[in-house]
Structure 1
Amino acid sequence: MTHTTITAAARIPVRPRYLAGSEGSGETAFALLTGPRWHKRQDEWGNHHAFGDQGRLHIGLIPGYCEMVEPVGLWHIEARPECGAPAAWRAAMSEHAPPEIIAAFTTALAADAEVGGDRPAYLSNTDHPDTVWRLLTEAGWRVSVSGYGFRALAPDLLAEVTHTPPRPGPASEQTREEAWQVEIRAGDDGEALWWAEFHSATPAHLIAAFTTDLASPEPLWRTESTLPPWVRRLTNGT
């Protein structure tokens, strides 16, 4: 990370971008969810929702209570074969996940919805996970086999992507449904700065959109006051 002298109000480039955290607004992730396929609303608890493709898609920014989602994570994304049906897959991201990286996922999701059809691409998990690993390898990440799945580590060892696919056998021996895990660690103490997880049925091309933006060399711009404390110390070179 580049060390610079900054003022509290200055906007500074944060590299790698996954250390930037969130400025508190999720508008970036909702920005391209426009047109007749999408309906946005704010509920009585102050949560923000976008419903797309005739109710088959739901993207929620949930800082308060909401009976629609489990009480895990700040961001919730779901896809269903039809409105009101059980979710085919779910994704969740924690509070400090950069909305610009989430936007890469929602933009790819919106592109699938725009094409439409009875079986849109966001419900067709026909992509191979190798797509994700190839893109991360090209970005300089180290990919290896880990247990029953795969693991990719960023060059600075602060970001990790893992995939543990479901295995044959009794349900009690199955891996968790959130087969894709992304974790950004806050330095040597191992504390997570933020995390994201994706159900095993999430199409790999959507995971690839997320991880490609995660590994992008382009910075995210933040003011010092919005940076996580330990990232702020790195930025100041102290």
Structure 2
Amino acid sequence: MADSTPHKKRRWPLFLVGAVVAVAVLVVGGTAFYINVIKEDAPEEFTLDDPAPGSSAAGSTADGSVDGRWRVGDGSEAGYRVNEVLFGQKTTAAGRTSEVSGTMTIADSAVTEATFEVQMASVRSDEDRRDNQFRGRIMAVDTYPTSQFTLTRPIDLGTVPAGDETRTYQATGTLTMHGTAREVTMDLQARRAGDLIQIVGQIPVTFSDYNIPNPSLPGISTEDHGTMEVSLRFTGVEANE
């Protein structure tokens, strides 16, 4: 009777290749299922609130002076957005926090001073493991607990915006993050509704500019940059002295 051992030996490489392929299919397929079915979608980019129906027609928004000092109020948020590739599947990671404070001073139709500060340890995404990496290895929040933006050039507002009117501006200032300060320009939109001014803006952030380690991990790769996003609701105007 012929010896079948050589034939069995030839089967082993084919079996191993098949096993590797099967595992790869399970990983990629499982990741795709997780991203498309289980994982929550990243929150949408910040946008201005829709005006209340008929608010302008009813005259419920004031068109008077905006001069004074405004403070970041309730409903304000800040966060990040980074594109990821998770085992070959593209996805977006985003974190948010409402622990934001700041002020803005308007005088003679210009923003003369503005600053906001974000408590970094409070930023949360939809994934605890990502948040642990963010607070520890990536952002080192125990050492660098806050990120701040400070306006360095006045913003000319032009004429006083009417109620519910959207305006687009650029804000140049210093962003301090992870212990490093850089000059940045933030594109923003603003809308005034009575005693509320809402501002949404984005600041591109290249990680190496702030000595931030690339967030990539085995099986998870990210771009070398992300976006800092803010939605600031300024209220409680105080008259300039």
**Is the strand fraction higher in 1 or 2?**
2
TM tier relative to shorter chain: under 0.3
